[in-house]
A = this chain, B = another copy of it.
Amino acid sequence: MSERGPIEDPRYAEGGWRKRLHAIIYEADTPAGKAFDVVLLVLIVLSVTLVAMETVPGLPEWMIQLLWISEWVVTALFTVELALRMLVIKRPLRYILSFYGLIDLFSILPTWIAFFVPGVQALLTIRALRLFRIFRILKMAKMLDEMSELRHAFFASRAKMGVFLYGVAILVVILSALMYLVEGGPESDFESIPQSMYWTVVTMTTVGYGDITPVTPLGKLLAVVMMLLGYSIIVVPTGILSVEVSRAQKQTNTQHCDQCGLDEHVDEARFCHRCGAKL
């Protein structure tokens, strides 16, 4: 009976309040469900802003008070939301241990804990993870389907990308060691190989903070080579991806051969290229 049980459970009968609440909270098809998601989204963005604002030093007293009150309002609303979610779902424990359930829990827990134990305000930052919720509104299924070509291209190019990244990693290690040998020393900014690796990535990704810079002529020459390398390297993944994209484009044809069942034909094909049958 277990497979029929929940369906016949009177609490989930057609028109039951739980069923209606379930549709509002967990689905985005009805107007009420969409409104719920939008309100939740605004609350999430607001709560993330609150968490960020609370860390700004030197705020005036009235603002700290305002933030404190807003924090409790948001937490109260999130607590009510979580309670409702637990109430209308068939397996509350399973939900609370799922990815979104844990995010829900962690986004209210820090405030409650801070009520008793001060000093864990920083945990509030986990609330940012609630932002992932927005994807439900955006009709993810359709969206990911639209991105399928790009995902396919990425997937098809993963081996090449791996070889490329591995090569870059080796290059970074060797160039960092070289730079340490050239520039290194107790007085220098390049005080160790890990430090030198940090500088190499800062340089080759063209970020270039300038907190560490080469000072010897040879070091500058090596830095110039590394910059040019880093600047050129971006072309490779773009090239890999565009190869895959145009290959994927070629295979999008859907003409079907009745005789041998082959689906992939070039656009202008009139005969199947495998069995020679007329399409």
A21 on interface, CB distance cutoff 8 Å: no
Q: How many copies does the complex hold?
A: 4
Which of B223, B238, B243 makes the CB contact (< 8 A) with A198? B223
By the criterion CB–CB under 8 Å, are A207 and B203 in contact?
yes
Residue of B nearest to A129 (CB): B174
* Docked complex Cα distance between A198 and B55 (Å): 14
Instruction: Note all chain B residues with C-beta closer than 8 A to A82.
Output: none
Instruction: Note all chain B residues with C-beta closer than 8 A to A267.
Output: 250, 264
* Docked complex Cα distance between A264 and B253 (Å): 13
* Docked complex Cα distance between A129 and B171 (Å): 9
By the criterion CB–CB under 8 Å, are A205 and B192 in contact?
no
A181 on interface, CB distance cutoff 8 Å: yes
By the criterion CB–CB under 8 Å, are B247 and A246 in contact?
no
* Nearest chain B CB to A218 CB, angstrom units: 11
Instruction: Note all chain B residues with C-beta closer than 8 A to A181.
Output: 122, 125
* Docked complex Cα distance between A147 and B244 (Å): 11
* Docked complex Cα distance between A268 and B274 (Å): 8
Given A48-B173, A150-B160, A243-B245, 17 more pairs with CB closer than 8 A? A52-B192, A55-B194, A56-B193, A125-B181, A129-B174, A132-B170, A138-B166, A143-B159, A154-B239, A194-B217, A201-B227, A202-B208, A205-B206, A206-B231, A241-B242, A243-B248, A266-B266
Question: Can you list 14 A-B contacts with CB-CB less than 8 angstroms, sorted by A residue number?
Answer: A56-B195, A57-B192, A128-B174, A143-B160, A202-B208, A205-B206, A206-B208, A232-B237, A234-B235, A238-B241, A241-B242, A249-B250, A266-B266, A271-B273
The 9 residue pairs across chains A and B that have the minimum distance between CB atoms: A125-B177, A271-B276, A269-B273, A207-B208, A209-B210, A52-B193, A210-B210, A55-B192, A205-B231
